[in-house]
Amino acid sequence: MQRQLVEILACPLCKAPLTLAVTREDATEVLEGSLTCTACAEVYPIIEGIPNLLPPDLRRAMEQEATRGGGH
Ligand SMILES: [Zn+2]
């Protein structure tokens, strides 16, 4: 995602602005990092340039779904 995108993104829970923390970036965009809500302090990951702004409950449900599969 482009750095400026943080200005138009908002927390899906409380609609407050987000703070961008960058772990890895190239010349034009952020590849990995996190977005932290300035109001409720929820953290949203940025993975491979894609900000994951799913509400945390839904995100955790999906992560559990992903780890549960592949039993054998
Ligand atoms: Zn929030």
Is the Cβ–Cβ distance between 71 and 28 less than 8 Å? no
**Cα(71) to centroid(ligand 1), Å:** 35
User: pLDDT grade, residue 52 (50/70/90)?
Assistant: very high
**Cα(37) to centroid(ligand 1), Å:** 5
Q: What proportion of the chain, given as a percentage, has pLDDT over 90? A: 76
pTM of the model as a whole: 0.83
What does the pLDDT look like over 23-51, one tens digit per residue? 999 999 999 999 999 999 999 999 999 99
* Average model confidence (pLDDT) across the chain: 93
**Cα(44) to centroid(ligand 1), Å:** 10
Q: Please report, for the chain, the start and end positions of each structural domain, with discontinuous segments joined by +.
A: 3-68
